[in-house]
Chain A
């Protein structure tokens, strides 16, 4: 079931070419993936889903519905009990250089400086010291932390730490960036800022993003496509493509009535599972 939205724009824009078409090829394909944990807990039940290239797709659903599980299976950190995942045409058998992960609790090495943390993926690949520091510095500036290269994680706020995590994921130049509730551990103002910056990244980096969140507003705000997951054992219950024209005032979008309608509609669908 697909919901098509009218174009939302602060200025009256009716040119359909302005609406991004999502008929791009899928960069990640999930085919009938199931996951059962030891002890018989069935987290995912035959999920099939496609993630379009160059876009941001969100996995949205109630707590414990398996969205992080699916994300980690795509990342290759957990094996699936059944089914297959293909990234760029190749089957997933473990972590790989074409995918990068951003962790909910940042997963920074507390004994290493910011620049060393950001360069970690490159260090593991054997990239030379000078080169990886240069790449790391670029990414650190990209996420707005210029000047903090020699600081340590405990000297940074939560929001800054997550920027380091993001810079680290960008530094390895992966095709697919996987983000596991990346903004849930920061405060509300920082979170909103992050959402706006994420939109800019998606538009400019040429990478594909898979995003997990339990916030409906966040999902509708940043996503090109939303996959609603049902409660455990999860299946895809709906796919929604909120067609929002970016480039206007970010604040206006949050008050636009059509945006709010999509949010309300998703909320009604989710409530159905919570009752």
Chain B
């Protein structure tokens, strides 16, 4: 069968629809702003009813936020809170990745140590905080230890999984080209495991934030925890909510930043 006139033989494509206001409405950015605005409006409304005497409106909370920024309380509190967080995270990352790699490469280590972390991941580790207080007092050490016990299990287990799941094919390939054990670890296993290790770091970071806030609420109020507790006790709810909002926003932005770094470094194929 001869197709002589191609243009009539092929089905005609429909002309592209002109974009109208409906398409603009469904655009992701627009919807995100809309949902954001809706929630804030709801908050404002709920505060005005009022839902509860302890529920300030959005604007009141913003006022409280402005106040604690202006008098320097917020920045001082952040510094005090971030100190054990950063130290605890650093320790957790170094120790956690180290342990995870060791366990991934050395089966007896995995047999000995992994069950501890597997239980730790499912267990409510927050219950150990009073014991930490008992052992280390109410100072900085206890808070750092809290961050560590919350962050390490997920970092260790992710690293372990990443090292164990190195594609067999790559390991065989490096062996066929005569890689020594240390070359294999350095040039194949660790790079292959990096994406999942980094994902573990991100989850560990989220857990660390939870840890440091719990530490401040349970051990001794300092930093942000202090601002929250104090304002709660004097019933200055706008400032209390403002402090909570500040730390939540900070944590979320920080973890979002880590995710951006993760995508840039490790998953170029998912960059749009």
Contact = CB atoms under 8 A, between A and B. Distances in A.
Given A109-B192, A124-B183, A154-B269, A101 B178 contact: no
Nearest to A125: B178
A77 interface: yes
Contacts of B179: 124
A112 B194 CA distance: 13
B176 A75 contact: yes
Interface in B141-193: 167, 169-170, 172-180, 183, 187-188, 191-192
A121 B175 CA distance: 10
B142 to A, nearest CB: 40
A76 B178 CA distance: 10
A77 B172 contact: yes
B169 A103 contact: yes
Nearest to A99: B176
B268 interface: yes
Nearest to B184: A124
B268 A107 contact: no
Given A109-B188, A111-B191, A124 B176 contact: no
Contacts of B170: 107, 109
B183 A95 contact: no
Contacts of A124: 174, 177-180, 183, 187
Interface residues on chain B, size class: 20 to 34
Contacts of A168: 177
Contacts of A96: 178
B173 A101 contact: yes
B177 A77 contact: no
Secondary structure dominating the interface of B: helix
A101 B192 CA distance: 21
Nearest to A97: B178
Interface string A88-114: 000000011101110101010101100
Interface residues of A, number: 24
A107 B178 contact: no
A105 to B, nearest CB: 6
A101 B176 contact: yes
Contacts of A76: 176
B268 A103 contact: no
Contacts of B174: 120, 124
Nearest to B169: A107
Given A124-B187, A152-B268, 12 more contacts: A77-B175, A95-B175, A103-B169, A103-B172, A107-B167, A107-B170, A107-B172, A111-B266, A120-B187, A121-B177, A124-B179, A172-B177
24 contacts: A75-B176, A77-B176, A95-B175, A95-B176, A100-B176, A103-B173, A107-B167, A107-B169, A109-B188, A109-B191, A109-B192, A111-B192, A111-B194, A112-B191, A120-B174, A120-B177, A120-B187, A121-B177, A121-B178, A124-B174, A124-B178, A124-B179, A124-B180, A125-B178
